[in-house]
Structure 1
């Protein structure tokens, strides 16, 4: 399929365009030149497009549970022709995965737009499917010591809970505790634009 006849399937997320470079900078610090990366909840697929263009040695495996998102990722792959942006897979943190291993798991704006069970399952998956020394990268808003880091995050949290009471901005300390219980070690917490954090764990 050529990009001329599937342009309408390519989604664009303004947030992905805004945050892709700060996220790239953190990932470049914690990953080597060669890495096999699984992205969960890839959405439009634009993060994978950007990362594979910046890092030819990264094999980026996008995934989602939404057919619309999977179609968008496929359309972006056809449009860019990027050899290291792999065909999208359906991956759900709450389901079993094939016996495969990655150098990094990336979850951008996932854990606050899903039930807490997804965060718990994500930590199990990281412990099981990351190579030794592999990286779990999380991005999004967090509360710290029980407090929102900005008024806009408090408003966002209320909006999320109105949409689904199981959603919401997570307490960073609770996420760290869940990761450490699965043998993950916190490596860094970086403040990124728009009151979001990049949180990196490493599997020992």
Structure 2
């Protein structure tokens, strides 16, 4: 037990938002099958969601070695039969598109990832999902023509100071990308965290 504690990472946002994410996903995820999660981060919400959806197989992944170690540590402690070991998937590389998934989930990734990750996410989801299968994306989003204010403005400024390619993504721009890959916008759910949305696309 003790050695797990060293590698386990924790994310305040994951803990704060996981309950809201689980309840928003209730009407979105299929009753059974495999959920592929891209950019699982600490692994905390993967454990929480695998527990909340016992009839689904949960496949966490993250390109970061330390994140995968953290996911493994949280998973080992939870001991859930439906939670698979984390895979080394980078959303930009085609490796993750080799295996079909019944749903794809991406939580708090796009604003902290280079813009090409959005395009790669839609391109890949169109390949791995069955017709009607959901791609659920959670995070902070801006709307076209609406001023950035409050938490979103602060978050955006912070990200851009770190790297000008990062920042709060515009929902309409993502919709256009998704449409190019035959993914239709299905739902936009406002979340408790100011400016956060759960956006669901479905494969045509």
TM-score, normalised on structure 2?
0.95
Aligned-residue Cα RMSD (Å) equals 1.2
Aligned to 2:115: 116
The residue aligned with 1:203 is 203
What does residue range 77-96 of structure 1 map to in structure 2 within 5 Å? 77-96=75-94
Task: After TM superposition, list the pairs within 5 Å mapping 1:43-192 onto structure 2.
Answer: 43-97=41-95, 99-148=98-147, 150-192=149-191
Mapped to 2, the partners of 1:41 and 1:96 lie a distance apart of 15
* 8 Å Cα contact 1:139-1:199 kept in structure 2: yes
- Which residue does 1:37 correspond to in 2? 35
User: Is there any run of 5+ residues in structure 1 with no aligned partner, and where?
Assistant: none
Listed one character per residue, the Cα deviations across residues 35-90 of structure 1 (whole Å, up to 9, x for unaligned) are 31111110100111001111111111000011100000111111111111100000
Structure with higher strand content: 1
Which range moved further: 23-32 or 78-87? 23-32
Report the Cα distance in structure 2 between the residues aligned to 1:19 and 1:115, rounded to whole angstroms. Answer: 23
Determine helix, strand or coil for the equivalent of 2:54.
coil
Count of residues in Structure 1 that have an aligned counterpart in Structure 2 = 202
Structure 2 counterpart SS, 1:101: coil
What CA distance in whole angstroms lies between the structure 1 residues aligned with 2:113 and 2:52?
A: 29
1:142-180 Cα offsets, whole Å, 9 max, x none, are: 111232464210111011001111101111100111001
SS at match of 2:85: coil
For normalisation by structure 1, the TM-score amounts to 0.95
**Aligned counterparts, 1:8-47, within 5 A:** 8-47=6-45
3-state SS of the aligned residue for 1:137? strand
- SS of alignment partner, residue 88 of structure 1: coil
